[in-house]
Structure 1
Amino acid sequence: MGWARTLNGDAQATTYFDVSSFGAVGDGKTDDTQAFFKAWDATCKSMSPSNLIVTGGKSFLLAPLTLEGPCHSTPITIQKSIQLKVIVEADSFECYKMNYIRNANFIIIDFAVFGSIVAYPDTDSVWGGHLNEWIAIKLTNGLNIEGDGTIDGKGQLWWPKRCIENQFHSFFYQMGENYLILMVRFVVVVNRDVMKGVLRDDERPYPLSIFPLSLLFSPLPTAPDKSTLQIALAFHNCDNLYVRGLHFVNPGQQHMKIEDSTYVYMEQLHMTAPGDSPNTDGIHIQGSQHVTIKNSTIATGDDCISIGDGTYDVNISQIACGPGHGISIGSLGQGGSTETVERIYVWDSYFTGTTNGARIKTWQGGSGFARDIAFQNLNFWNVENPVIIDQNYCPHTTCQDKKSAVKISNVKFIGLYGTSEKPLAVTLDCSQTVPCTDIVLYNIELNTSNAYYKTTSYCSNVQGTVGGICYPAVPCLHYV
């Protein structure tokens, strides 16, 4: 089942487990799910540092799979101190630091991925039960995942069905109150309740009067709700996690999710999906602390990196983003919820052909805060909205004005250069009742992709300062 060797002369041996030794075939046709589960189980139960290997040159077919700890271990103490800095360009501004201290007893499990991992076809027997994650890893401490293998989510099988759901959602949500609908022909899907789970928490159906009504019964392809769309790789409660070198292709939804985890370090990742693929965020971070993501390429159909509630102390650098929706904090506060994000640092990154660049988005009606955020040394090429704070985020046409809002404060945009696809290059749209405060722009130079037009800015309910070169001008801020 495995073999051992001494690592670096240490008394403890590293035990290696190859998924092929547990029955994985790797021909792209045979279901290798159970072999992966057995290999993980043996690795997790090992009393010594262990290495799980996915053999190169093969293609492993997997159904939804959960690899779960905690794992047995002989305690190993690792002490490491890393200081990451975002150096700003004026003495009057604070130098941000993230102290990354690891001092814990945990087992080291190395997961080496060299082959390809391919998602199982979307049959009801495999993807039933509202599964929303393809590969989930939970409750680990000291997991390393390395290799140049590919994780292929086969998202092209799912995206058309997501479009069907969107059509139903948009139709019902855009209706106002007391509409009278005459001579409507509904298509009733007989093999799946497509409306199940579609409405978001802050949405409610409006009373509709429908008369007369004709029904057309027609079987359509299965249209899963949001909760069924697959996230390629999800980490839950994984501490001291290291991921390097993996390639992700065409997930059903997000490429990767990091949730409720601490001390996460990721680098040299490659994520690819078409620019029009729905909801294919590169990396979504939720409820996690002390996260570093660096030196990675993300080309996808949604946010390259998105940061959600409960996230603290994140350092993002050397990211090549595009196509995609940029690097986003939020959305926060949906459905009147209280959500918080703090100490986020995005620097030395490139955006190419994205719909957004550096973005913060919050819903009206929510509460909480997004604060201590810095975007620095960013380059944009043909980006639709290079700089945007949207405290009135609403992707629909029927959102109502609400007084409460997520508080946005101490946000710095420093050293941003490049071209905007539209004349409006800087948008600071904040709440009238909970305005944005301590917003700083320093050395901003954004021109239009078309030299015939000049860039402009829009700001509302913003308090802050502008320093150095700033183009376009942002007149609502105080120049220092």
Structure 2
Amino acid sequence: MQTLVTCALILALISPCFGTNDTVFNVLSFGAVGDGKTDDSQAFFKAWKSTCGAQGTPALVVPPNYVFLLTGLSLKGPCIATTIQIKLQGKIVAPNNKDAWLGFKSSLISITDVVRLTIDGSGGLINGLGSTWWPCPTCSRPAVLVFKSCSYLSVHDLSIIDSPKSHIRVNGCEGATFSRINITAPVNSPNTDGIDVTFSKNISIQDSTIQTGKPD
């Protein structure tokens, strides 16, 4: 009887670990440096490919206490995972030079054709360094974060500052909730809209603070 009780206790303790496919993919494990100077775009892309290709409910983690420079990142689905999390705990910065954006002149980060994605920005920040773009009225200025053709999207506790143009764009998406979003840019920054929504359905923006610039 004592043996049976002991076995039952062991099973009770370890059973939450069974039957789940939850996996964490830390961008540092894919070669990200996080010094704010080295381009970590490829490391983020590799981490995304592994996350998107995993089963269950994997998470891509951007850890705290690092600054990750991105020059343009395209994250595409569809994914094998039933749901995906991105945990932004560190800081992401755009290039401080327009020419360093490589071929990604429409957005710093684009996410396309992903279903049931949750982005938790608790503790993190994205800095678009838009001041390098604002003096150029003829430039086609990029957004910081763009969602295209995504469904059942949840973004919460995300902070974005100083986008070259729109901070967040939502295009062709269905079923998205943005909550506790904080977006700021100087009042003299041109057309730095907070969240632009086009050709989308059932988009909710809740409990958020948006303080940005004025139209040109």
**Does 1:72 find its partner at 2:80?**
yes
Which of 91, 94, 100 pairs up with 1:116?
Answer: 91
Displacement of 1:8 in angstroms is: 5.7
1:345-424 alignment runs, 5 A limit: none
The whole-number CA distance in structure 1 between the counterparts of 2:58 and 2:103 is 33
Partner of residue 170, structure 1 = none
Which of 27, 35, 50 pairs up with 1:42?
Answer: 50
The whole-number CA distance in structure 2 between the counterparts of 1:43 and 1:130 is 22
- Structure 2 runs not aligned, ≥5 long: 1-13
Displacement of 1:240 in angstroms is: 0.5
Question: Which string of whole-angstrom CA distances, capped at 9 and with x for unpartnered residues, describes residues 354-399 of structure 1?
Answer: xxxxxxxxxxxxxxxxxxxxxxxxxxxxxxxxxxxxxxxxx9xxxx
Partner of residue 9, structure 2 = none
SS in 2 for 1:42: helix
Displacement of 1:147 in angstroms is: 2.4
Displacement of 1:120 in angstroms is: 1.6
The whole-number CA distance in structure 1 between the counterparts of 2:101 and 2:113 is 23
RMSD (Å), alpha carbons: 1.9
**Does 1:13 find its partner at 2:21?**
yes
The whole-number CA distance in structure 2 between the counterparts of 1:255 and 1:7 is 43
Displacement of 1:12 in angstroms is: 2.0
Corresponding letter in the other structure for 1:236: K
Partner of residue 134, structure 1 = 108
**Preserved CA contact (<8 Å) 1:43 1:52:** yes
SS in 2 for 1:298: strand
**Preserved CA contact (<8 Å) 1:7 1:14:** no
**Does 1:254 find its partner at 2:171?**
no
Which of 240, 243, 251 pairs up with 2:155?
Answer: 243
Partner of residue 190, structure 2 = 278
* TM-score normalised by the chain length of structure 2: 0.88
**Preserved CA contact (<8 Å) 1:243 1:266:** yes
Question: Which string of whole-angstrom CA distances, capped at 9 and with x for unpartnered residues, describes residues 296-326 of structure 1?
Answer: 0001014xxxxxxxxxxxxxxxxxxxxxx7x
The whole-number CA distance in structure 1 between the counterparts of 2:201 and 2:130 is 29
**Does 1:154 find its partner at 2:66?**
no
Q: Which has the higher contact order (CA 8 A, sep 6+)?
A: 2
The whole-number CA distance in structure 2 between the counterparts of 1:13 and 1:33 is 26
The whole-number CA distance in structure 1 between the counterparts of 2:36 and 2:78 is 30
Percent of aligned pairs with the same amino acid:
39
The structure-2 alpha-carbon separation of the partners of 1:301 and 1:121, relative to structure 1 and needing over 3 Å to count, comes to same
Question: Which string of whole-angstrom CA distances, capped at 9 and with x for unpartnered residues, describes residues 404-457 of structure 1?
Answer: xxxxxxxxxxxxxxxxxxxxxxxxxxxxxxxxxxxxxxxxxxxxxxxxxxxxxx
Corresponding letter in the other structure for 1:33: S
**Preserved CA contact (<8 Å) 2:71 2:104:** no
Larger radius of gyration: 1
Displacement of 1:123 in angstroms is: 4.5
**Does 1:144 find its partner at 2:118?**
yes
**Preserved CA contact (<8 Å) 2:98 2:132:** no
1:156-171 alignment runs, 5 A limit: 156-162=131-137, 165=138
Displacement of 1:128 in angstroms is: 5.1
SS in 2 for 1:13: coil
The structure-2 alpha-carbon separation of the partners of 1:51 and 1:7, relative to structure 1 and needing over 3 Å to count, comes to farther
- Structure 1 runs not aligned, ≥5 long: 1-5, 74-106, 166-223, 303-324, 326-394, 396-480
Partner of residue 432, structure 1 = none
The whole-number CA distance in structure 2 between the counterparts of 1:150 and 1:129 is 23
SS in 1 for 2:36: strand
The whole-number CA distance in structure 2 between the counterparts of 1:7 and 1:139 is 34
**Preserved CA contact (<8 Å) 1:7 1:13:** no
SS in 1 for 2:208: strand
Displacement of 1:131 in angstroms is: 1.9
Question: Which string of whole-angstrom CA distances, capped at 9 and with x for unpartnered residues, describes residues 195-246 of structure 1?
Answer: xxxxxxxxxxxxxxxxxxxxxxxxxxxxx2x3xx110000001100000001
Number of residues of Structure 1 aligned to a counterpart in Structure 2: 202
Partner of residue 66, structure 2 = 58
Q: Quick check: which one's strand share is greater?
A: 1
Corresponding letter in the other structure for 1:111: I
